[in-house]
Homo-oligomer: A and B are copies of this chain.
Amino acid sequence: MAEGTIFERLDPIFHPRSVALIGASGKPGKIGRLFVDAFMESGFRELYPVNPGERDILGFQAYPSVLLIPYPVDMAVIITPAATTPAVVKECVAKGVRTIVINTAGFGESGIKGKEAQDEMVRVAREGGARIIGPNCIGIYCPASKLPFLLKQGREAGSVGLVSQSGFFADYLTMIATERGIHFSKAVSCGNESDLTAVDFLEYLGEDPETETIVAYIEGLREGRRFYDAARKISRKKPIILLRGGLTEGGARAAASHTGALAGSRPVWEGVLRHTGIVPASSFEEVLDCLYAFHLQPLPSGARVGIVSGPGGIAVATTDACLELGLGVPQFSPATAEKLRASMPVVGGSVANPIDLSLASLLGPRVFRDAVRILSGEKNIDMILVIAVVGGERLRDLILGAVDGLTTKKPIAVVVMAGTPEAVERDCRTLIASGISAYPDALRAVKALHRLSGYARFRERLQASPDDAAGVRRRRRALPAQGRHIILKAASEGKKVLSEHGAGEVLRLCGIPVAREREAFDEPGFRRALGEIGFPAVIKAGGPELSHKTEKGLVYLDIRDEHEALVAFTEIMDKRKGRETSVLVQEMIRGSRELIIGLVRDRLFGPCVMIGAGGIFSETLKDNTFRAAPIDRQDALDMIDELKCRASLGPFRGMPAADLGRVADILVKVAAMGAEQREIKEIDINPVMISGDRPIAVDALIVLEDE
Inter-chain CA distance A443–B280, complex, in Å, is 14
Whole-angstrom distance between the Cβ of A319 and the nearest chain B Cβ:
4
Contact assessment for A621 and B620 in the assembled complex, using a CB-CB cutoff below 8 Å:
no
User: In the complex, which residues 405-463 of chain A have their Cβ closer than 8 Å to any Cβ of chain B?
Assistant: 417, 420-422, 425-426, 429, 440-444
Whole-angstrom distance between the Cβ of A204 and the nearest chain B Cβ:
20
Question: Which of B166, B285, B348 is A106 in contact with, Cβ under 8 Å?
Answer: B348
Indicate how many identical chains form the complex: 2
Q: Is A646 an interface residue (CB 8 A)?
A: yes
Q: Is A356 an interface residue (CB 8 A)?
A: yes
Inter-chain CA distance A322–B254, complex, in Å, is 13
Chain A residues within 8 Å of B, Cβ to Cβ: 29, 31, 82, 105-106, 109-110, 136, 164-169, 172, 175-176, 179-180, 217, 219, 243-251, 253-255, 257-258, 282-286, 310-317, 319-324, 329, 347-350, 352, 354, 356, 358-359, 363, 389, 417, 420-422, 425-426, 429, 440-444, 548, 550-552, 558, 560, 592-594, 613, 615-617, 619-623, 644-648, 653-654
Question: Which of B319, B422, B429 is A254 in contact with, Cβ under 8 Å?
Answer: B319
User: Which residues of chain B are near A167, meaning CB under 8 Å?
Assistant: 311, 313
Whole-angstrom distance between the Cβ of A561 and the nearest chain B Cβ:
10
Supplied contacts A105-B359, A615-B617, A621-B621, 10 more A-B pairs, CB within 8 Å: A82-B347, A167-B311, A245-B313, A254-B312, A254-B319, A285-B441, A422-B426, A548-B653, A560-B560, A617-B623
Contact assessment for B285 and A443 in the assembled complex, using a CB-CB cutoff below 8 Å:
yes
User: Which residues of chain B are near A324, meaning CB under 8 Å?
Assistant: 248
User: Which residues of chain B are near A106, meaning CB under 8 Å?
Assistant: 347-348
* Given A283-B443, A550-B654; A251-B109 close (CB under 8 Å): no
Contact assessment for A443 and B323 in the assembled complex, using a CB-CB cutoff below 8 Å:
no
Inter-chain CA distance A646–B620, complex, in Å, is 8
Closest 6 CB pairs of A and B: A166-B313, A105-B348, A551-B654, A168-B311, A283-B443, A245-B316
* Given A165-B313, A313-B258, A548-B654; A429-B425 close (CB under 8 Å): no
User: Which residues of chain B are near A550, meaning CB under 8 Å?
Assistant: 653-654
Contact assessment for B217 and A313 in the assembled complex, using a CB-CB cutoff below 8 Å:
yes
Contact assessment for B593 and A622 in the assembled complex, using a CB-CB cutoff below 8 Å:
no
Inter-chain CA distance A675–B10, complex, in Å, is 71
* Given A347-B82, A613-B617; A417-B323 close (CB under 8 Å): no
Closest to A189 in B: B313
User: Which residues of chain B are near A31, meaning CB under 8 Å?
Assistant: 359, 363
Inter-chain CA distance A109–B350, complex, in Å, is 10
User: Which residues of chain B are near A109, meaning CB under 8 Å?
Assistant: 348
Question: Which of B257, B420, B442, B646 is A179 in contact with, Cβ under 8 Å?
Answer: B420
Inter-chain CA distance A566–B387, complex, in Å, is 70
User: Which residues of chain B are near A136, meaning CB under 8 Å?
Assistant: 348
Contact assessment for A246 and B320 in the assembled complex, using a CB-CB cutoff below 8 Å:
yes
Task: Give me 18 A-to-B residue pairs in the complex whose CB atoms sit less than 8 angstroms apart, sorted by A's number.
Answer: A105-B347, A167-B313, A168-B311, A176-B421, A245-B313, A245-B319, A247-B320, A253-B319, A254-B319, A258-B316, A283-B443, A421-B425, A550-B653, A594-B616, A620-B645, A620-B646, A621-B621, A622-B644
Whole-angstrom distance between the Cβ of A686 and the nearest chain B Cβ:
12
Inter-chain CA distance A253–B619, complex, in Å, is 38
User: Which residues of chain B are near A175, meaning CB under 8 Å?
Assistant: 420
User: Which residues of chain B are near A444, meaning CB under 8 Å?
Assistant: 283, 285
**Max chain B Cβ within 10 angstroms of own Cβ: one of A180, A253, A619:** A253
Contact assessment for B314 and A168 in the assembled complex, using a CB-CB cutoff below 8 Å:
yes
Contact assessment for A619 and B648 in the assembled complex, using a CB-CB cutoff below 8 Å:
yes
User: Which residues of chain B are near A417, meaning CB under 8 Å?
Assistant: 168, 172, 284
Contact assessment for B319 and A248 in the assembled complex, using a CB-CB cutoff below 8 Å:
yes
Inter-chain CA distance A145–B282, complex, in Å, is 44
Question: Which of B165, B311, B552, B646 is A172 in contact with, Cβ under 8 Å?
Answer: B311
User: Which residues of chain B are near A313, meaning CB under 8 Å?
Assistant: 164-169, 217, 219, 245, 258
Inter-chain CA distance A144–B258, complex, in Å, is 53
Whole-angstrom distance between the Cβ of A441 and the nearest chain B Cβ:
4
User: Which residues of chain B are near A616, meaning CB under 8 Å?
Assistant: 592-594, 615, 648, 653
**Max chain B Cβ within 10 angstroms of own Cβ: one of A283, A316, A349:** A316
Inter-chain CA distance A165–B315, complex, in Å, is 13
User: Which residues of chain B are near A164, meaning CB under 8 Å?
Assistant: 313
User: Which residues of chain B are near A286, meaning CB under 8 Å?
Assistant: 443
Inter-chain CA distance A255–B315, complex, in Å, is 9
User: Which residues of chain B are near A442, meaning CB under 8 Å?
Assistant: 283-284
Inter-chain CA distance A247–B318, complex, in Å, is 11
Question: Which of B110, B245, B613 is A621 in contact with, Cβ under 8 Å?
Answer: B613
